[in-house]
């Protein structure tokens, strides 16, 4: 029975390689090249941010520069969230939320990026880049 399955797989392999015509191969190569060329364009629009805005319970806690290194305690609904600014990036070191998704998200540094601790109601936004912030949907 195993030989029958392997025989069918061998036949299927040959059918799929014969099914691609020259125009199909050219189209696939063109799409791959277009994809690779789009990376520098996307990187151009993602500017490094200069400022961090931290909000808790709906109000602004502070507006900080990404240039210096500092630890910022932010009081939220569940307790204190510890935010670290270092090496031009900001990240959540510790939070009293149950799943720690904000901590696991890692550091952010680009304009328009956001870290959110929803249970503790803390929002950290990066802003102040040189150009417009562009995502996959809007410009």
Look-up: residue for tokens 């070191």?
A: 93
- Tell whether pTM > 0.75: no
Confidence of residue 7 (pLDDT cuts 50, 70, 90): low
Closest among 134, 125, 137, 138 to 41, alpha carbons compared: 134
pLDDT tens digits for 69-98? 999 999 999 999 999 999 989 999 999 999
Q: How many other C-beta atoms can be found within 10 angstroms of the C-beta atom of residue 34?
A: 9
Q: Where do the domains of the chain lie, and which CATH numbers do they carry? A: 2-45 (no CATH), 51-127 (2.60.320.10)
**What does DSSP assign to residue 49?**
P
pLDDT tens digits for 101-135? 999 999 998 888 999 999 999 999 998 755 444 55
The per-residue pLDDT for 40 is: 82
Q: Is the pLDDT of residue 32 over 70?
A: yes
């Amino acid at each position: 029975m195993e030989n029958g399955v392997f025989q069918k797989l061998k036949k299927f392999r040959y059918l799929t390689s014969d099914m691609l015509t020259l125009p199909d191969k050219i189209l696939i190569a063109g799409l791959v090249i277009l994809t690779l060329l789009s990376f520098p364009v996307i990187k151009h629009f993602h500017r490094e941010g200069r400022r961090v805005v931290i909000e808790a319970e709906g109000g602004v806690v502070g507006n900080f520069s990404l240039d210096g290194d500092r630890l910022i305690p932010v009081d939220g609904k569940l307790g204190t969230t510890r935010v670290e600014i270092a090496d031009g990036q900001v990240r959540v070191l510790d939070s009293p939320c149950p799943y720690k998704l904000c901590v696991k998200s890692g550091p952010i540094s680009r304009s328009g990026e956001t870290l959110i601790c929803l249970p503790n109601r803390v929002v950290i936004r990066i802003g102040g880049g040189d150009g417009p912030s562009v995502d996959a949907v809007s410009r």
